[in-house]
């Protein structure tokens, strides 16, 4: 049973094209208000997933439920409540920025006056008021992306599917778009599925990451949790001002959740099972009057985790010798 | 809750006309701004419906004795030839060419306009990479298909009927001093305009819908769909050589045949026009 806070749920979702499996048995659950980064190389199945979730493609097997609706049977109702930014901005270059947005607003059922108001609001929000009446043919990639994002947000969707939202953007525009997505999720409670190659941006805003490889979901979870599985714990540095003594190492080793420890020139590096174990280590050192000058839980970045996973997939694919 | 693939067809919902007309309006606004589409779309009707009758009118002024139309009249059935043969030479030429021979040639107009716009509306949408955006909007497949058909049909009929109005004015103006009464509209022209032309426009759409499904650009679709003009060329050549004469009964029969063909093509096109199929090829 899909819980009331579940925005997206898929079960064994599969789709092939010309006999080639593009998505193979995807099981996924995304909570309302969550930002999920859908990661993977080209051809991994990210765009196919978005198309299946939004009812654009029909699955060969399995099903997808979005906002409690069957994506295949209630596609129009799903699309009414979702906003999509496709990899290509998909603007008609013979129309102006305003006309492109007004068209989408009218299709979404807004009357002329309401459509005009929403379009003006979005153009202002994305600082595109000056270009409102210009044909989009002359727009830069950044302007096109911003306009397409404005279009995706016109109707205040409950779920946003963003396919490569920052590809082709300069660093400033990338930061602005990333911040905006983060704000939508954090302050407005929007559920976001972010299909991207750009791990830095995904790492900044996503709660969880799902890694697709050749159409199969190979890993899903918080980067820290995935890192803990990959590297047998979360690494942490403790600055003691000098190499850790054997008695200090003994105290640390006795703490529940410490997997590994080794001496460093300024203290010790440990691997803990989870964040709580790290807190227990610090508490133990503090109660035993050990001077701690600094402590840093090295949170694995999404990038670290992704490449580690990619390497493990590549190793699996290598023929046994 | 058990999740299972259900393959039942979408539930019947009434056509969302505001949505349909929004798409038509957008497409036609975009077409209007595209010189590559507008120029050929207006050039051919201008040549056929305005320039050609003017040239025929000028040619008629130079006719003083028996004309080549006399020998052509020998090739056509007596019931058609006799009333024309009884006319003075200038009137013969004007009545034969403007009132009779040009009628099937005119069908190029609705066919060309509908085909060019359909190529832009279907294959062009893929070429501009705007199709996927449309597919992610809350529009039913049926409404989207209907909108695309109307996008081709409305201008095809507007240009055809507008062109015919212009042709009527020019043809009657150039023949005014020679002909007693109006040359057009006559029964043959009325059948062509209101019965055959819409069918031909729909045929052009039906063919281009099929062709566009296999094309990635509007140019490719136009090239593949260019063959649609061939039957009309046969018709025109047949008409001008006397081999196949399009009179009233032939016009009605041709219209009925084209309606059936066009209907079949559009019906098949509609069945194959699904989001899934389009998204799979874009």
Q: What is the pLDDT of residues B51-100, one digit of tens each?
A: 999 998 888 777 665 555 556 666 666 666 777 777 777 778 888 888 88
Residues of B in contact with A52 (CB under 8 A): none
What is the C-alpha separation between A244 and B23, in angstroms, rounded? 72
Cα→Cα distances A163→A67, A86, A206, B236, Å:
19, 5, 14, 52
User: A96: domain range?
Assistant: 6-221
pLDDT of B2 above 60: no
Q: Taking all residues of chain A, what is their mean pLDDT, rounded to a whole number?
A: 90
DSSP A96: B
Residues of A in contact with B131 (CB under 8 A): 90
Q: Which of B231, B205, B13, B208 is nearest to B104 (CA)?
A: B231
Q: Are residues A242 and A172 in the same domain?
A: no
What is the C-alpha separation between A237 and A266, in angstroms, rounded? 9
- Residue, of A202 and B109, whose pLDDT is higher: B109
A307 is a domain residue: no
- Residue, of A297 and A201, whose pLDDT is higher: A297
Chain B: give the shortest CA distance to residue A275, in Å.
35
Residues of B in contact with A60 (CB under 8 A): 5
Q: Are residues A91 and A237 in the same domain?
A: no
Taking only the tens place, the pLDDT of each residue in A306-315 is: 888 888 887 7
Apex B138 CA angle, B136 and B141, nearest 5: 85
Chain A: give the shortest CA distance to residue B109, in Å.
25
pLDDT at B240: 62
Cβ proximity of A7 and A158 under 8 Å: yes
Question: Quick check: A90 and B130 CB within 8 A?
Answer: yes
Nearest chain A residue to B35 by CA distance is A94
Question: Quick check: A54 and B136 CB within 8 A?
Answer: yes
Question: Quick check: B136 and A1 CB within 8 A?
Answer: no
A189 is a domain residue: yes
Mean pLDDT along residues A43-70: 96
Own/partner long-range contacts of A42-45 (Cβ < 8 Å, ≥24 apart) = A42/A197, A43/A214, A44/A212, A44/A213, A44/A214, A44/A215, A45/A212, A45/A214, A45/A215, A45/A216
Cβ proximity of B196 and B255 under 8 Å: yes
Taking only the tens place, the pLDDT of each residue in B17-31 is: 999 999 999 999 999
For A139-161, give the DSSP string: --HHHHHHHHHHHHHTT--SEEE
Chain B: give the shortest CA distance to residue A100, in Å.
9
Closest partner residue to B136 (CB to CB) among A1, A11, A56 is: A56
pLDDT band, residue B239 (cuts 50/70/90):
low
Q: Which of B192, B102, B209 is nearest to B153 (CA)?
A: B209
Domain total of chain A: 2
pLDDT band, residue A107 (cuts 50/70/90):
very high
pLDDT at B248: 83
A56 is a domain residue: yes
pLDDT of B128 above 50: yes
Q: Are residues A292 and A242 in the same domain?
A: yes
Cα→Cα distances B62→B169, B172, B270, Å:
21, 17, 53
Mean pLDDT along residues A24-47: 93
% of chain A with per-residue pLDDT over 90: 67
Question: Quick check: A57 and B276 CB within 8 A?
Answer: yes
A131 is a domain residue: yes
Q: Are residues A199 and A57 in the same domain?
A: yes
Among B131, B133, B151, pick the best mutation site for testing chain A contact (most A Cβ within 10 A): B133
Mean pLDDT along residues A272-280: 91
Residues of A in contact with B36 (CB under 8 A): none
A227 is a domain residue: no
Mean pLDDT along residues B110-132: 89
Q: Are residues A268 and A121 in the same domain?
A: no
| Token representation of residue A294 | 């600094």
Cα→Cα distances B159→A104, A247, B7, B45, B109, Å:
28, 94, 42, 8, 8
Q: Are residues A257 and A139 in the same domain?
A: no
Three-class secondary structure of residue A258 per DSSP: strand
pLDDT band, residue B1 (cuts 50/70/90):
very low
Alpha helix stretches (DSSP H) within chain A: 46-53, 75-81, 97-107, 112-125, 141-153, 171-188, 199-205, 223-231, 246-253, 275-287, 302-317
Chain B: give the shortest CA distance to residue A266, in Å.
56
Question: Quick check: A77 and B138 CB within 8 A?
Answer: yes
Q: What is the CA radius of gyration of chain B?
A: 22
A303 is a domain residue: no
pLDDT at B92: 80
| Token representation of residue A73 | 């049977």
- CB neighbours of residue A210 within 10 Å: 22
Chain B: give the shortest CA distance to residue A106, in Å.
7
Statement: the pTM of the whole predicted model exceeds 0.80? yes
Regarding beta strands A69-70 and A191-196, do their DSSP bridges make them parallel or antiparallel, or are they unpaired? Answer: unpaired
pLDDT of A46 above 60: yes
Q: Are residues A87 and A215 in the same domain?
A: yes
What is the C-alpha separation between A278 and A273, in angstroms, rounded? 8
Q: Are residues A161 and A28 in the same domain?
A: yes
Mean pLDDT along residues A137-156: 92
Among A90, A108, A136, A144, pick the best mutation site for testing chain B contact (most B Cβ within 10 A): A90
pLDDT at B79: 67
Q: Are residues A274 and A136 in the same domain?
A: no
Chain A: give the shortest CA distance to residue B16, in Å.
10
User: How many contacts, defined by CB atoms under 8 Å, are there between A and B?
Assistant: 104
Least confident of B93-107, B134-148, B186-200: B93-107
pLDDT at A232: 74
Cα→Cα distances B10→B54, B131, B274, Å:
54, 21, 11
| Token representation of residue B5 | 């693939």
Query: In CATH, what number is assigned to the domain containing residue A80?
Result: 3.40.50.300
pLDDT band, residue A22 (cuts 50/70/90):
very high
ipTM over 0.95: no
Question: Quick check: A86 and B1 CB within 8 A?
Answer: no
Q: Are residues A59 and A205 in the same domain?
A: yes
What is the C-alpha separation between A223 and A312, in angstroms, rounded? 16
Q: Are residues A163 and A242 in the same domain?
A: no
A22 is a domain residue: yes
pLDDT at B72: 64
Nearest chain A residue to B8 by CA distance is A73
Cβ proximity of B163 and B45 under 8 Å: yes
Residues of A in contact with B22 (CB under 8 A): 103, 106-107
Q: Are residues A120 and A89 in the same domain?
A: yes
pLDDT at B255: 92
Residue where a domain terminates, one of A221, A245, A276: A221
pLDDT of A79 above 80: yes
Least confident of A134-138, B9-13, B27-31, B263-267: B9-13
Segment of A214-218, B70-74, B121-125, B183-187 carrying the highest mean pLDDT: A214-218
Domain boundaries, chain B: 23-280
Residues of A in contact with B136 (CB under 8 A): 54, 56, 79, 82, 84, 86, 161
Nearest chain B residue to A60 by CA distance is B5
């Amino acid at each position: 049973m899909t819980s009331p806070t579940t925005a997206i749920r898929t079960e064994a979702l599969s789709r092939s094209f010309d006999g080639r499996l593009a998505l193979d048995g995807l099981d996924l659950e995304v909570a309302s208000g969550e930002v999920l980064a859908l990661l993977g190389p080209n051809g991994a199945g990210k765009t196919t997933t978005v198309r299946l979730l939004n009812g654009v493609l029909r699955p060969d097997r399995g099903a997808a439920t979005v906002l409690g609706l069957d994506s295949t049977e209630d596609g129009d109702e799903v699309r009414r409540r979702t906003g999509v930014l496709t990899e290509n901005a998909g603007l008609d270059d013979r129309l102006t920025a305003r006309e492109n947005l007004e068209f989408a607003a009218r299709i979404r059922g807004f009357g002329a006056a309401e459509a005009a108001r929403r379009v003006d609001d979005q153009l202002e929000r994305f600082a595109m008021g000056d270009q409102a009446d210009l044909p989009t043919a002359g727009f830069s990639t950044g302007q096109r992306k911003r306009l397409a994002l404005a279009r995706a947000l016109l109707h205040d969707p409950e779920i946003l599917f963003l396919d490569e939202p920052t590809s082709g953007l300069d660093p400033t525009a990338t930061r602005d778009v990333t911040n905006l997505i983060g704000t939508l999720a954090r302050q407005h409670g929007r559920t976001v599925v972010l299909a991207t190659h750009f791990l830095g941006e995904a790492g900044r805003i996503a709660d969880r990451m799902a890694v697709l490889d050749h159409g199969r979901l190979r890993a899903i979870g918080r980067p820290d949790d995935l890192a803990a599985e990959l590297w047998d714990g979360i690494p942490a540095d403790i600055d003691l001002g000098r190499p850790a003594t054997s008695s200090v190492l003994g105290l640390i080793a006795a703490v529940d959740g410490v997997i590994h420890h080794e001496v460093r020139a300024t203290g010790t590096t440990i691997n803990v099972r989870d964040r709580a174990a790290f807190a227990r280590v610090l508490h133990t050192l503090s109660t035993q009057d050990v001077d701690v000058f600094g402590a840093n839980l090295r949170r694995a970045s999404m990038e670290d985790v992704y490449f580690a996973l990619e390497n493990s997939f590549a190793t699996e694919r290598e023929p046994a010798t | 809750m058990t999740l299972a693939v259900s393959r039942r067809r979408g539930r019947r919902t009434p056509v969302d006309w505001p949505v349909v007309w929004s798409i038509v309006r957008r497409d036609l606004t975009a077409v209007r701004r595209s010189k590559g589409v507008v120029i050929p779309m207006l050039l051919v009707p201008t040549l056929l419906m305005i320039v050609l009758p003017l040239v025929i009118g000028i040619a008629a002024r130079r006719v003083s004795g028996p004309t080549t139309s006399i020998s052509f009249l020998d090739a056509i059935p007596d019931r058609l030839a006799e009333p024309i043969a009884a006319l003075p030479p200038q009137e013969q030429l004007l009545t034969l060419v403007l009132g009779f021979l040009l009628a099937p040639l005119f069908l190029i107009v609705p066919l060309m306009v509908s085909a060019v716009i359909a190529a832009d509306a279907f294959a062009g949408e893929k070429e501009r990479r705007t199709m996927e955006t449309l597919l992610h909007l809350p529009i039913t497949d049926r409404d989207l298909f209907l909108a695309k058909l109307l996008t081709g049909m409305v201008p095809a009929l507007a240009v055809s009927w507008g062109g015919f109005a212009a042709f009527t004015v020019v043809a009657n103006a150039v023949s005014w001093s020679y002909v007693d009464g109006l040359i057009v509209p006559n029964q043959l022209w009325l059948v062509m305009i209101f019965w055959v032309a819409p069918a031909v426009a729909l045929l052009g759409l039906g063919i281009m819908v099929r062709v566009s499904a296999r094309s990635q650009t509007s140019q490719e679709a136009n090239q593949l769909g260019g063959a649609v003009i061939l039957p009309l060329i046969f018709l025109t050549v047949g008409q001008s050589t006397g081999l196949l004469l399009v009179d009233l009964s032939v016009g009605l029969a041709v219209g009925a045949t084209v309606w059936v063909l066009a209907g079949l093509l559009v019906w098949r096109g509609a069945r194959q026009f699904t989001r899934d199929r389009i998204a799979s090829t874009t």
